[in-house]
Structure 1
Amino acid sequence: MSFNFKSIDHFQLASPKNTEEIARKFFTNVLKFQEIDKPETLKSNGGVWFKSGSIQYILEPKIILFQQGKPIQL
């Protein structure tokens, strides 16, 4: 079986709770990504979103991802 990806919309990554400022410095200063606004309904969850080209990078506190059934951790 083979797969041909046409595009990737976003990556969702787990981050430790309350590390948004560290993520902002890394993603904007080091990687040169652009911070983007989260939808209003998700802002209370914490985390921060970035964009590079057409791909979004969504950093959410790990507890939120585990509650959603997405056990991804870097």
Structure 2
Amino acid sequence: MSARLHHVQVSCPPGGEDDARRLWVGALGLVEVEKPPALRARGGAWFRSYDEQGRVVAEVHVGAEADMVPARRAHPALLLDDEAALESAADRVAALGLEVDRSERGTFPGYLRLHVRDAAGNRVELLAPGPD
């Protein structure tokens, strides 16, 4: 048996979908995809990233949740192409007025990384290949 990650889910408060779009689409370049009809009434939004062949390589579901409290440490992580892409994404996130934390930049062998927080306080790790 083998398993592959299908998606990760983070939460936002009800009505926080536009803030989620600003990060996932505007700053990180994912594409919003329509939720299945049976799930639309719940609120939230779904986002995907595709490779050059059109295959889905990342999927994030943002679910609307009353009394939402973001996890302090739990997070999805996105692997970007290179350091330039990492820094460009960090600049776009910062331009939205969102937190960018570079304090753990060189702490993961083989990668450069940083953490951002979305408008709801969810932590998201961004990585790029780096020195071993």
Q: What TM-score results when the alignment is normalised by the length of structure 2?
A: 0.43
Instruction: Write the mapping of 1:11-50 to structure 2, written as runs, cut at 5 A.
Output: 11-50=8-47
Gaps (5+ residues) in structure 2?
Answer: 51-55, 72-121, 123-132
Cα deviation for residue 25 of structure 1 reads: 1.3
CA distance in 1, matches of 2:26, 2:8: 19
Which residue number corresponds to residue 48 of structure 2? Answer: 51
Task: Between the two structures, name the one with larger relative contact order (CA 8 Å, sep ≥ 6).
Answer: 1
> How many Å apart are 1:6 and its aligned residue?
5.1
Alignment-mate amino acid for residue 11 of structure 2:
A
Cα distance in 1 for residues equivalent to 2:17 and 2:37: 17
| CA distance in structure 2 between the partners assigned to 1:31 and 1:46 by the alignment | 21
2:43 alignment partner AA: G
Which stretches in structure 1 are left out of the alignment for 5+ residues? 67-71
TM-score by length of 1: 0.72
Runs of 4+ in 1 over 6 A off after TM superposition: none
* Corresponding residue number in structure 1 for 2:65: 62
CA RMSD in angstroms, aligned pairs only: 2.3
Percentage of identical aligned residues: 25
Structure showing greater radius of gyration is 2
Q: What one-letter code is carried by the residue in structure 2 that aligns with 1:21?
A: D
